[in-house]
Structures are given as C-alpha cells and as structure tokens.
Amino acid sequence: MSLIGIHSLSKAFGTVRLFKQISFTISQGDRIGLIGPNGAGKSSLLKIIMQLESPDEGSITRRQGLRIGYASQVPEFPPLPAREILLNNSFSTDPIESLTLANILLGKALFPDPEADATRLSGGWKKRLDILRALMAQPDILLLDEPTNHLDLEGIFWLEKFLTKERSIPTYLVVSHDRYFLERVTNKTIELNRRYPSGIFMCDGSLHRFFERREQFLAAEAQREKGLASVVRGEVDWLSRSAPARTSKSRSRIEKANELIDELSAVQRRNTESKVSIQFDASERETRKLLSAKNLSKSLGGKILFKGIDLTLSPGSRLGIVGENGTGKTTLLKILAGHIPHDVGTVKYADNLRLVYFDQMREQIPLESTLREALSGDNEYVTYRDQRIHVNGWAKKFLLSPDRLALPVKYLSGGERARIQIAKLMLEPADILFLDEPTNDLDIATLEVMEESLLEFPGATVLISHDRCFMDRLCTQVIGLGKNNEHSLFADYSQWLSACQTPARPAQAVKTPPPPPPKPSQKRSYKEQRELAEIEQRIASLEATIKECEQRLEAMTDSSTMLPTYKTLADAQQQREVLFERWLRLEETH
C-alpha cells in the first residue's frame, strides 16, 4: 500500500539545483535508506515531505489521514523535562494514554532520568529524545535525518535494535552515511544524485546489494556512452562531408544527429563523477617517536574519567579512542593535543612537533562568515604545499561551488561545513592529526576518499568516530574507555567491537538445555522432484538470458534500449538468486 507519492519534484537553492524531476513512492513496510552526496538535497527532501519547505516544482501525495513522525538532523528543545517534551507532542488527547506511551518510550530508550532538562542533555541523548518525540505522534511513517550523529556505539546498537524490532514503526525513511547501520536496518536504498537520468537510483534489499546493482547500472551507462560516442562520430563525419541539406530526409538526419550529440553530452556529464580531493600535508619529520604519554589521569566534577593511561604514537600509527558517551574520549584527545591539562602523568612531544586538531562541534568556523572567509580568510589565495591556489580553485577541490563564496556558512549543509574543516586542516602541515568525529555529515563517497587519504598519511593520527566502517578500516590500535575509569588496549577496532558485543556476565548457575534431537531425514516427494527438475531448467534459461543481455549491452549503441536491457538483466539475476535458494533447500532433502 502506497503511503507517500513523490511526483516530478524539483528544488533549487539560489542558483544551485538540488534535485530535478525526481519521482518515487514510499509503501507500507518500506525501510528506506536515503543516501547521496552532500548538497544533493536529502534533508531538504525530508523537510518538503514534512511541509516545512516548499518544492519549486512537482507535488507530493499522501494517503488520507497519514501521520508522519520526523526527527531532524539538529534537534532543538525548550528548557523542559524530557518527559514533558514528549507529552507536549502527543497525538492522543487522553492524558493517561499520553503519559503511558511517554513512559513506555522512555523505558525502551533506556532514558536514565526522564525529568532531566532536555537542553542539558548530551548530543546522543538529544537524538534519542527527538526520535521519541516523533513517535509520540503515533506515526504511520517515520523520517529520520542522520539519527546516528553524536550517538555512541551503545546508542547505535540501541537504535538498530529499536528500528528493526519495534512494531509501531514498520515504515521509515532514514538519511544516513553510516554504512554498517544502513546495512542492518534497511530493506531498500535510494540514492539522490544528479548522475542518474531520473535523478535517483533505487534498489530493493541490503545496502551491499544496492552497491552491486549500482555498479551494474553505471557500467551499463559507461557502455552506453561508448556506443553513443561511436554513433556520434559517424554522424559528425557525415555532417562534415555532406552538402547543405535540401531534402527532408537529410534534414531529418541532421536533426537526429543533433539530438544524439545532445544526448551524448548529457550522458558524459552524468558519468563524470566529481570527488573531493583530500590529501593531508605532512611534515618531513623522520623521528620514530612523536608522542609519549605515561600514567595519564583526569577527573571532571569530582568524577575520575580515566587513569593510568600509557600511549606512544609513531609515524604511521592510527589510534582510535572509543567508549560510551561520558567516558572522556574528547577529553583524552584534547589532553594529547595539548588543549587542556591532565591531572596526573606526563605527555612528551618530539621537538617542534606540529599538531592539527579537528573540532567535533565545528566551533572553529563562525557561522556568520562567508564561505570565502572560511576557506581563505581575507586572502584571494591559499598556500598548499608551497603552491598558491586561488580560492575559487580551492573551493572546487572540495566540491564547493565558487558561485556560493559569498554565502554565509550558516546556510551550508553539515557535510559542506565538514568539508570546509577538512580544507582548513589540509593547509597545515602536521606530524599528528587529532580528529574528533570527522565523519559526521560526510557523504559515503567523501568518507571513502578521507579513508584513503588517512591510510596514506605518513604521520600519526588519533581518531574519535562512531562510524564503525571508518574506524574498522583505519585503526592500527584502539584504546577503549569504560564507565568506571578503566581502560583497555586492543589490536584493532574489530577486536574492541567483539568485546563490546559479548559483555562479561556474572557467574551463575545456568541450566543448559539438552541438545535438540536429530532431524529425521526427509524424503523428497514426487512433486518436489518435479519442481527440482523444473527449477534447474528455469535457472538454465535465466542464465542464457543473463548472458544474452550482457552481450547485447556490450554491443549496444541504441540508447533507447540500453536501460530496458539493463532492467531485464537485473530482473533475471534476481530471479536466479531466488531459484538458487529454493534449489538448495530441495537438494537438502534426499
């Protein structure tokens, strides 16, 4: 059953087009992950659905009486207790029913103090409260904008379980760049990106399946470009050799040639993928020991955060600091960077060590300053690796349009602000990079570029991030901070993650259930034998179709049939997978 229909929707911000003529539906039971590059308009799309913004063109249809819950990217609350926030947003007019629902949701969210002032909550608890506030509307569909930002690992695990197990929210659309999270909680992925002919690309199934299907589609588009280019070369050659067209047949061919040229230009523009250029500038230092910390301890407000920490950083080391919110991750990072003092212990730096710090809260960028000022101050040029680069060119390296240089930073998306921070970091040669949540708001493509850059960075890196995929790829060592001021060292992020997912339990007598009796052997029925034979024939037929489609795509030059052929290929592959699963189950019987 369709809940929401998006029909030929377009939206621009000033001279910058976010998306154009996009169409799709959200049906009951859909658990959609919405991805796309920064600035593609994902948050704007959610706001349009919520009628907080208006589209430039197109329309949205909603099922009659549809209730929508919305949790924004940056939640704001009045200075009221958390429970009262929920009660003020209840759909029900019955105060007892509202209070009951609020208490149930607070319990499911593991809220430590329902009477806590909402404005004083940490970023992670504000995220949880905002999701609960959306659920007080008892929505038919839930819209979540970057819900994992500022959540610690425990909070992400909670949200994953909550979304997949909570029966009251069977349908949702979530904007996120957390690849592990999307893999676990979605059954459909939509990418909002101008590189696609329709402005979006959709695929049912897991995020992994989406990436596979997208690669097939992009390969088909690349083949289409190759075929079009060949045809256009022939038509251009004909145009250059032909006498002025006087016949209707010649005029028709000229018009067709011009259409093909325009079509090729459009395909080439879409197939030209722009990527952020990220290369952190390192010093030429050859010292093997950059930083040495011994017996570090720190207390805040009479509470011991950690004690007895010993660390050594050398060129090429990438240390991850992990733990729940409130265990002192950012505090330890700032101590190592020399921003705040420690209580006990020592931190020794190599001579003339150059440190660069990435701030989690983006406080280093005044929101009223322009994009130009944020990138280059009052200068027309920046100096990067002893080269002077005009601010226009520097902006383009981070996919920031020079047309927007006069725009105040406060009007930029979270991902665009993060890229400004990265641009500032790259101008400073460093021996050690201290990165506090650098992945927040970055799109998946930029995350992958940043990962590659940090893997190539010759200095040391200290990281805090809740992006498990990012940390898993990068960290060569992990320090885990616990709630009771304890800490542990791990060889990599996966080892720490395994320790978190299998917490120690108090010893107690546990009655071990007896092993299940062996399953009786099942004999394949006559009907199943016939089905097995038919499946084998159908699989062979589908494989022939797949091979035929692949051959047609390789030789195809007619753009009008390229995408239908691709769809036939994808459908045949999907049907083959379903039949293979059934074939395996039948083969298990004897």
Does 350 share its domain with 455? yes
**Of 45 and 417, which is predicted with more confidence?**
45
Integer angstrom CA distances of residue 332 from 276, 345, 483 = 30, 12, 14
User: pLDDT band for position 503 (50/70/90)?
Assistant: very low
Which of 493, 391, 388, 488 lies closest to 451, judged by CA? 493
Does 431 reside within a domain? yes
Does 57 share its domain with 184? yes
Instruction: Enumerate the H helices of 242-339 as residue ranges.
Output: 248-271, 329-336
Does 206 reside within a domain? no
CA atoms of 282 and 64, how far apart (whole Å): 59
Does 468 share its domain with 414? yes
What is the number of domains present in the chain?
4
Last residue of a domain, one of 144, 165, 195: 195
Q: What is the pLDDT of residues 278-337, one digit of tens each?
A: 666 666 555 678 999 999 999 887 788 899 999 999 988 999 999 887 788 889 999 999
The CA radius of gyration of the chain, in Å to the nearest whole number, is 28
Does 267 share its domain with 295? no
Q: Which of 39-43, 345-349, 374-378, 517-521 has the lowest mean pLDDT?
A: 517-521
Does 236 share its domain with 304? no
Q: What is the pLDDT of residues 419-462, one digit of tens each?
A: 888 888 778 888 899 998 888 778 888 888 788 888 888 889 99
Predicted local confidence at residue 76, as pLDDT: 92
> Taking a C-beta distance cutoff of 8 angstroms, is the pair 417, 409 a contact?
yes
Does 549 share its domain with 478? no
Does 123 share its domain with 234? no
Q: What is the pLDDT of residues 191-235, one digit of tens each?
A: 998 888 888 998 999 998 998 888 888 777 777 667 667 776 676
> Taking a C-beta distance cutoff of 8 angstroms, is the pair 77, 129 a contact?
yes
Predicted local confidence at residue 567, as pLDDT: 67
Q: Look up residue 140 and give its amino acid.
A: D
Does 545 share its domain with 436? no
Q: Look up residue 243 and give its amino acid.
A: A
Does 424 share its domain with 548? no
Predicted local confidence at residue 184, as pLDDT: 92
Which of 410, 5, 121, 183 lies closest to 131, judged by CA? 121
Sheet holding 460-464, edge to edge: 355-358, 432-436, 460-464, 318-323, 477-481, 487-490
Does 490 reside within a domain? yes
> Taking a C-beta distance cutoff of 8 angstroms, is the pair 33, 147 a contact?
no
Q: What are the tokens at 326?
A: 């409130």
Predicted local confidence at residue 544, as pLDDT: 84
Q: What are the tokens at 422?
A: 């990265």
Write out the residue range of the structural domain in which residue 582 sits: 537-588
Does 28 share its domain with 169? yes
Does 229 share its domain with 372? no
Cα–chain-centroid distance for residue 514? Answer: 44
Does 560 reside within a domain? yes
Does 106 reside within a domain? yes
pTM for the full model? 0.67
Does 298 share its domain with 368? yes
Does 404 reside within a domain? yes
Does 517 reside within a domain? no
> Taking a C-beta distance cutoff of 8 angstroms, is the pair 317, 477 a contact?
yes
Print the SS3 string covering 349-372. ECCCCCEEEECCCCCCCCCCCEHH
Does 58 reside within a domain? yes
pLDDT at 497 over 60: yes
CATH number (domain holding residue 56): 3.40.50.300
Q: What is the pLDDT of residues 234-258, one digit of tens each?
A: 766 666 665 554 455 566 666 666 6
Burial class of residue 7 (count of CB atoms within 10 Å of its CB; 0-12, 13-18, 19+): middle
